[in-house]
Amino acid sequence: MADYSFGYGGIGSGLDISGIVSQLVAADRAPQNARLNTLESVAKFKLSGLGSVNSAFDSLKTALDALQKADSLGARTISSTMLSVASGNAASNAASDPVLTPTAGRNTPVGSYQVEVLSLATAHKMLGDGVEVGTKFGAGTLRVAIGENTVDVAVKADATLADIRSAINDAAGKHGVQAALLTSDDGHHLSVGSAKTGAANAVSIQVLDGGSDLQGLVGGLRDQSPAADARVSIDGLVTTSPTNTVTDAVPGMSLVLKQAGTSRVDVSADPSGSRAAVDNFVKAYNAALKAIGTATSYNAEAQTPSSLTGDAQMRGAASQLRNVMNDLLGGLAEQGLDAKTLGLQTQGYPTPDGSLVLDATKFNEAMAANSAQVIAAFTGENGLAAKLNTVVKGYVGTDGALTLRTKGLNDELKDVTRQREALDVRMDAAAQRYRNQFVALDSLMAQMTSTSTALAQQLANLSAQTQ
């Protein structure tokens, strides 16, 4: 509350003008302040409950968005078993496949694939003849090419083999060329290769300008490993890859190649992995109903309501969710996916609150028996997730009913703030008016006191003269 004191009391009247003004202003403020406090507390109380419901509906929308995707129930398990290794390669007794490592994405076609790794992808590498340590080369220019990239490398006069190596790395390193200096009994050797595997990443060097020493250095480079693509046969169909990871031969499947050989790769449906999306939906759906129930509950023993007790919008939202869900479960039953088959149903006795229950065993059995039907029933534009999501989206998002109501309550709080500021201005004006009135009264009483004192003195003088 503002301080309406102004430093002194009534000089002429002896009244506590500051105290009187504060009390009068407080009396004027009290009913209006009480009204604003009520508006503010009611808005905040509703916002607390509305926030929990809104958050639960957001989570439900997220779960439905995930379940609606075509691959949401397409979890897969994958394994591989080595059948043979190429001659000269070592077989491993370890549990892992020594030929390849497979991974499967969602909706990878179920089946068994025979994969033969014909050859691995290799990076091009060249090694030069031995050069006596300390040998100096004349100035010149080398042209280094890798794939479609070409770089000219300047060689300074009296450059050592180490200087040439560094010049190649500085100029062509950003394109994937790697130069190194090796040492043997024959002296130093220049090694030049590609950092990338694949036939398209072969490296070549030619002398554009320079003497016989540079010509001899470049002419002495011999291939140590070729630039080659990996070659893989999958069920008799050959595919190539510039790296030792094959990702496009079977949709969703990735193969990391280790050595030449043959393995059998088995892909199967993963009911428990697919069930995760449905589990998340069931939990989010039940949490949304629980949030509404908590926000609208009434404590009969304490006779205290919750933030949204009796709220029509909350009753409508809960009723709409239950009705749509019942219709959708009925539709599943007509497709042969009733509670006994699919394992999804509403909670029954003793707590028939409309929440969902999922029997994991029955769901897994349904996925194993007819995954295509279950996937079609839940996912896609015409599945359960999409239809229920249409309802949920009406409450959340930019134009959702809960979003707009939250905005309205926040606008009410802003309006209360503006009204408080206006009330402060009015109370300041009232305080000033009361001060002016009491100061005027105090001045008048001072004058009257002065007049009374003067009259008393004159009467006393007159009495004295008469005596």
Tell me the pLDDT tens digit for each residue of 137-160: 999 999 999 988 999 999 999 999
What gap in Å lies between CA 122 and CA 33, rounded to an integer? Answer: 81
Output the six-digit token pair for 193: 């290769």
Task: Kindly indicate the confidence band of residue 269, based on its pLDDT and cuts at 50, 70 and 90.
Answer: confident
Residue 248: its pLDDT value, please?
A: 84
91 has a pLDDT exceeding 70: no
- List the structure tokens of 114: 């025979």
**Rounded-to-integer distance, Cα 146 and Cα 177, Å:** 7
DSSP 263: E
Distance of alpha carbon 339 from alpha carbon 330, whole angstroms: 10
> Residue 346: its pLDDT value, please?
92
Rounded CA gap, 288 and 57, in Å? 6
For 246, the 3-state DSSP assignment is strand
- In whole angstroms, give the CA distance from residue 429 to residue 439: 15
Average pLDDT over residues 303-331: 93
Strand ranges in 17-75 using DSSP code E only, listed in sequence order: none
For the residues 423-444, what does the mean pLDDT come to?
86
Q: In this predicted structure, what is the pLDDT of residue 13?
A: 60
Assess contact for 436 and 20: CB atoms under 8 A.
Answer: no
Cβ atoms within 10 Å, residue 306: 18
Residue recorded with tokens 């100035």: 139
Per the model's pLDDT, the better-predicted residue between 378 and 7 turns out to be 378
Does pLDDT of 11 surpass 60?
A: no
Q: How confident is the model at residue 14 (pLDDT cuts 50, 70, 90)?
A: low
> Is 80 exceeded by the pLDDT of residue 92?
no
Count other Cβ atoms within 10 Å, centred on residue 35.
13
Task: Please check whether residue 256 is in contact with residue 247, taking contact to mean a CB–CB distance below 8 angstroms.
Answer: no
Rounded to whole angstroms, the Cα distance separating 317 from 313 reads 6
Q: Band of the pLDDT at 5, cuts 50, 70, 90?
A: low
DSSP assignment, residue 173? G
Mean pLDDT to the nearest integer, 250-268? 95
Higher pLDDT residue, 22 or 215? 215
Ranges of each domain in the chain: 36-72+272-403, 76-121+229-269, 125-225
Q: Give the per-residue pLDDT at 272.
A: 87
Mean pLDDT, residues 170-199 taken together: 95
Residues sharing a CB contact under 8 Å with residue 49, sequence separation 6 or more, in sequence order? 294, 295, 296, 306, 307, 308
DSSP letters for 348-380: -TT--SS-EEE-HHHHHHHHHHHHHHHHHHHSS
Return the closest-CA partner of residue 291 out of 67, 45, 60, 44. Answer: 60
- The 10s digit of each residue's pLDDT in 116-140 is 999 999 999 999 999 999 899 999 9
Give the pLDDT score at 287.
96
Both tokens of 466, joined, read 């008469």
The DSSP call for residue 130 is P
Average pLDDT on 31-50 reads: 92
Give all strands (DSSP E) within 26-175, no chain letters. Answer: 76-85, 100-104, 111-119, 125-127, 140-146, 149-155
Which element (helix H / strand E) includes 120?
A: none
Residue 285 has a pLDDT of 97
In this prediction, residues 265-281 reach a mean pLDDT of 92
- 290 backbone φψ class: left, alpha, beta (φ>0; ψ -120 to 50): alpha
Please report the pLDDT score of residue 200 as a whole number: 95
pLDDT of residue 185: 93
131 sits in which H/E element: none
Segment 42-58 mean pLDDT: 93
Q: Is the peptide bond before 350 cis (omega within 30 degrees of 0)?
A: yes
What does the alpha-carbon distance between residue 422 and residue 440 come to, in Å, rounded to a whole number?
Answer: 27
